[in-house]
Amino acid sequence: MSLRVMSPAMLNAWSQTLVRAMSTQGGAKNIGFVGLGNMGANMASNLIKAGHKLHVFDISKPACEGLAAKGATVYAKTSELAKNSDFVITMLPNNAIVDASYDEMTADGVNKDTIFIDSSTISPDLVKSLQKKISAKGARFIDAPVSGGVPGAEQATLTFMVGGTEAEYNAVKAVLECMGKKITHCGVYGMGQAAKLCNNMMLAISMIGVSEAMNLAVRQGLDANVFAEIINSSTGRCWASEIYNPVPGVCPTAPANREYAGGFSTALITKDLGLASGVANTSNSPIPLGSLAHKVYQSLCEKGLGNKDFSVVYDLMKKEKFGL
């Protein structure tokens, strides 16, 4: 089929397939993947689709079985996984788990040619600490957190924010392109996380803003779908309004239609806002809206909603009166 008669959607799908095919021209790589949650499982699946051999670990047996059914090899120990991998990608919940996982994974030494890629959201300080620890053992470590949510992980359209040397960025770029459409070199170690924390703070603020506006519109009698169409063709348009709208029935694929199950948990956005607050403190940067967003999401966790998608903040707005 001629490219001139392809629709934009078909052209995008074709180009993504081409990128994945080109990424394996040098041969399939052995890639370790630690952390098969809502994001990680989809990312690992896309690496398999690209032709790479996956070595996986997760504390969830069903998560491991799901990847094994697609051809991945499951490991009981991350140290063994790392020894059999050219690249190791970690996608884990928080600082403590990431730190402990790398201690366990590298306790018996590392292959000097292995590149460790952490795509979790952690503090820039921990990135620098891990980089020193891994490099002292003879291997390489970079930070490469992601943005795009579960939809981006499913569709291999994530944005990767990479912290490391130019040579390390070039070494991992083809692998990351199997899972994302934009791979950006942000600078030295920790700069990927610096970008991610700023992005997630803005995401939390915008989700609260969209929830407030949608609730105000509905309470005045506006139809939610009509108002969403207005926002998304006006200056209020954003990812939270267009792709991930918090009102049930507006975006068919959004967690709001599943009683806020799955997606990006309230506990995780609260954790990220805490990390952003810490970085703001050390850099002497004012974040009045970021601090307020942190308090709002902390209150959701206190109400037992930590496992719900972070768009559940709309449900809180819907039930509250003026003066929250």
pLDDT in tens, 133-181: 999 999 999 999 999 999 999 999 999 999 999 999 999 999 999 999 9
- Specify whether the CB–CB gap between 56 and 84 falls below 8 A: no
Cα–Cα distance for residue pair 90/88, rounded to 1 Å:
7
User: How close are the terminal C-alpha atoms of the chain, in Å?
Assistant: 57
Q: Categorize the per-residue pLDDT at 107 as very low, low, confident or very high, splitting at 50, 70 and 90.
A: very high
What's the chain's average pLDDT? 92
Nearest to 239, CA basis, from 254, 227, 249, 224: 254
Question: Does the pLDDT at position 15 exceed 70?
Answer: no
What are the extents of the domains in the chain?
30-188, 194-319
Q: Above 50 in pLDDT, residue 322?
A: yes
Using only C-alpha atoms, the chain has a radius of gyration, in whole angstroms, of 20
Structure tokens at 110: 């590392």
Q: Categorize the per-residue pLDDT at 27 as very low, low, confident or very high, splitting at 50, 70 and 90.
A: confident
Q: Is the pLDDT of residue 96 over 60?
A: yes
Predicted confidence (pLDDT) per residue in 80-95, tens digit: 999 999 999 999 999 9
Instruction: Please report, rounded to a whole number, the percentage of residues in the chain having pLDDT higher than 70.
Output: 91
pLDDT at 193 over 60: yes
pLDDT at 18: 40
pLDDT at 86: 96
Question: How many other β-carbons are positioned within 10 Å of the β-carbon of residue 232?
Answer: 15
Q: What is the pTM of this model?
A: 0.86
**CATH topology identical between 30-188 and 194-319:** no
Selected catalytic residue, list 29, 83, 196, 308: 196
CATH topology of domain 194-319: N-(1-d-carboxylethyl)-l-norvaline Dehydrogenase; domain 2 (1.10.1040)
196 is catalytic: yes
pLDDT for 28: 87
Which two tokens mark 22? 């080109």
pLDDT band at 71 (very low <50, low <70, confident <90, very high): very high
Any idea which fold 30-188 has?
Rossmann fold (3.40.50)
More confident residue, 66 or 13: 66
pLDDT in tens, 216-269: 999 999 999 999 999 999 999 999 999 999 999 999 999 999 999 989 999 999
pLDDT tens-place string over residues 272-299: 999 999 999 999 999 999 999 999 999 9
